[in-house]
Structure 1
Amino acid sequence: MTDTTNPTHAARAHRFSLRSILNNAGIGLALLAIILFFSVFTEHFLTSNNITNILTQITINLILAVGMTFVILIGGIDLSVGSVMALAAVVAGKAITMPGLGDGEAIILAILAGMLAGVVCGIFNGVVSAFWALPSFIITLGMLNIARGAALHISDAQTIYSFPFAFEEFGSAMIYGIPIVFLVALAMVVVAWFILNFTVFGRLIYGIGNNEEAVRLAGHPVFWYKVGAFTICGLCAGIAAIIYMARLNIASPIAGIAFELNAIAAVIIGGTSLSGGRGSVIGTLLGAFIIGVLANGLILIGLNDFMRQMITGVVIIIAVILDYYRAKYASK
């Protein structure tokens, strides 16, 4: 951990902090450039209805990406979040449609059940990958199949629907024209930002990504911090499942296919290094906006789905190349 009482270390910490600010500023300028481009070439882009659509559309990806940020910061990856979201949605859907419950009881039970399902999957990913020192890529690839299969089995491969009206109303509710579901995602960004910047847990998440052995030799339980990062990722998948249900009024076992790719893309575009130890949840927020604005704008200018996928892929590759040069610069 950085000793800020040492002038050299303090200067280095300030330099990295300034670098982080400039990095986020660069991402923000890229987002602004994309917004200006679509504003010029599409007359409906900056309308209030379209802005509301963008905020709503990025909500689930932003929530998943917040959890993914913790995992990538420790040098891991979670390929299971889309499937875990589907499993959590099915579990919550079964809970909310249980007979004999009042609307309030059913909603509370569904929220708790969905979050618990996500947490259990996250703990499993963290324990297995940390205890046996196995690549999280492989473990979470296995969980991707386990969770998807479990979602299909529990639901008998059927979509669950007929939720309480209050739950459905929440998914479309607004405050001063801002979707409540987006405000939930924004609140999660704030909480994650606080954890990563002002708690021992957050500092050690960065520390593990930078030098895991040094954190271990300093006497910190690296195992539990790794499990904690994956648990947070699973929790975020559970919350995303609840938001998905409230927005679409269904719980489908095939929901969330390839959602993990968009979440990873938002984190990487936002400046978090794939090798761990560098990045911020504010960058993740900007990355999620870039993906959402890009997808929305490309639709408005009339590009088909194939072209949109190609352009998004190019943006992701450029972000990874930039990450390479950021890492090279940081090592100097």
Structure 2
Amino acid sequence: MNDPTVPPDGGPAMLDEAPGARASGTRLGLSNYLGLAGALAAMVALFSALSSHFLTYETFSTIANQIPDLVVMSVGMTFVLIIAGIDLSVGSVLALAASVVSVASLKWGWGPVPSALIGMAAAALTGMVTRGVTVGWRIPSFIVSLGVLEAARGLAYQLTHSRTSYIGDAFDFLSNPIAVGISPAFVIAVVVMIAAQLVLTRTVFGRHLVGIGTNEEAVRLAGVDPRPYKVAVFALMGALSGLAALFQVSRLEAADPNAGVGLELQVIAAVVIGGTSLMGGRGSVISTFFGVLIISVLAAGLAQIGANEPTKRIITGAVIVVAVVLDTYRSRRRRA
């Protein structure tokens, strides 16, 4: 009889790692990191040759201070995709969290900390609702998150009366540059990324997430209930969307109910470019960070060379398609 703790496709053990699994995973991870770093370096070299203003400290500090919201949301989406789920509602959840923060600050007179906490709590609750419906009724998360996308956006409009709410400088401390021109938001995003990578690679919780995405039935047969893990991952996705909302509120000094429209596509694109499998069971938060950098450097470079909006969309879409094709190719090689 096959050991139920080992997935039939050769994936990692659910309760303990198979001999040599850690070493093999390290080699694959290093290869992926080198490939992403090479692609990023080539992109920087290309835009530096095309624009004399690209290779400057101002360009890279601007990119660093604009990506914290995308970084933390991509961290959450990495966990979601690893368990073979998907969440299309993250942009609307961000807008909802920002709207809750504006109500708490402007109407209830709360300070920055309690306003931030209730905004993140509302976002986390939205994530729990998404996964609760998915688990309870066994509906694909793709469909449920589409419904939550609309509902969360509608709530954001209701709370703000469909108008931008100007909060002022209450959250400026997150976006005001500190040492070497880097904002606290970027530092927080990097800390979140490192913590998430450690959870994914060094804890039983992270190993179970990989197992759920690889072979959920094997995890269940090993005596682990996947449902709490799935709910926890979607709650984390919601909370990180709430944190991203704080970063945006800090940068804009306002809560915009239209914020985050289409942001879910950027988040998923960054995660897939980083090498996380759309089929579940494989992913790295560090690789996702490289994916965020590639997306952001591409956008900044195209803007500096004067590319128009249609051209930007065509090139970005082509990069995403190539990343998906490579992911499919890698998956087929792993099964071969």
TM-score normalised by the shorter chain: which range applies? over 0.9
- CA distance in 2 between counterparts of 1:112 and 1:325 reads 42
> Which residue of 2 is the match for residue 49 of structure 1?
58
- 2:255 corresponds, among 241, 251, 257, to 251
Please list every run of at least 4 consecutive aligned residues from structure 1 whose deviation after the TM superposition is greater than 3 angstroms.
Answer: 1-6
Return the alpha-carbon distance in structure 2 between the equivalents of residues 29 and 171 of structure 1: 30
How many Å apart are 1:114 and its aligned residue? Answer: 1.1
Matches within 5 A, 1:200-279: 200-279=204-283
Q: Which residue in the other structure is 2:330 paired with?
A: 326
Task: Give the corresponding residue for 1:97.
Answer: 106
Q: Does 1:130 align with 2:135?
A: yes
C-alpha separation between the residues in 1 aligned to 2:175 and 2:18?
47
Alignment partners' CA distance in 2, 1:32 and 1:331: 31
Query: Which residue of 120, 125, 128 corresponds with 2:125?
Result: 120
Alignment partner of 1:71 is 2:80:
yes
Following superposition, the deviation at residue 17 of structure 1 comes to 2.5
> Is the Cα contact below 8 Å between 1:24 and 1:271 reproduced in 2?
no
Unaligned runs of 5+ in 2: 6-11
Equivalent residue of 1:158, what SS? coil
Q: TM-score, normalised by structure 1?
A: 0.94
Give SS of 2:195's match: helix
Corresponding position: 1:312 with 2:316: yes
Instruction: Kindly state the Cα deviation for residue 176 of structure 1 after the two structures are TM-superposed.
Output: 2.1
- 1:80 aligned to 2:89? yes
CA distance in 2, matches of 1:222, 1:170: 36
Rounded to whole Å, the distance in 2 between the matches of 1:4 and 1:156 is: 48
Matched residue count: 326
- Whether 2:183 is the aligned partner of 1:183: answer no
Percent of pairs with identical residues = 42
Provide the rounded CA distance (Å) in 2 between the counterparts of 1:59 and 1:22: 26
Q: Distance in 1 between matches of 2:22 and 2:138?
A: 30
The structure-2 alpha-carbon separation of the partners of 1:68 and 1:3, relative to structure 1 and needing over 3 Å to count, comes to closer
Q: Is structure 2 residue 184 aligned with structure 1 residue 172?
A: no
Q: Which runs of 5+ in 1 are unaligned?
A: none
Deviation at 1:5, TM superposition (A): 12
Note closer, same or farther for the CA distance 1:125–1:231 as it changes in structure 2 (3 Å cut).
same
Judging changes above 3 Å, is the alpha-carbon distance between structure 1 residues 5 and 251 closer, same or farther for their aligned structure 2 residues? closer
Q: Secondary structure at the match of 1:97?
A: helix
Instruction: Kindly provide the amino acid, as one letter, of the partner of residue 289 in structure 2.
Output: L
State the Cα distance separating 1:166 from its structure 2 match.
4.6
Distance 1:216 1:152 in 2: 41
CA gap of 1:4–1:246, structure 2 versus 1, over 3 A, is: closer
Within the alignment, does 1:109 sit opposite 2:114 as a pair? yes
Q: Give the root-mean-square deviation of aligned CA atoms.
A: 1.7
Is 1:192 aligned to residue 201 of structure 2?
Answer: no
Alignment map for 1:4-43 (pairs within 5 Å): 9-43=18-52
The whole-number CA distance in structure 2 between the counterparts of 1:93 and 1:267 is 30
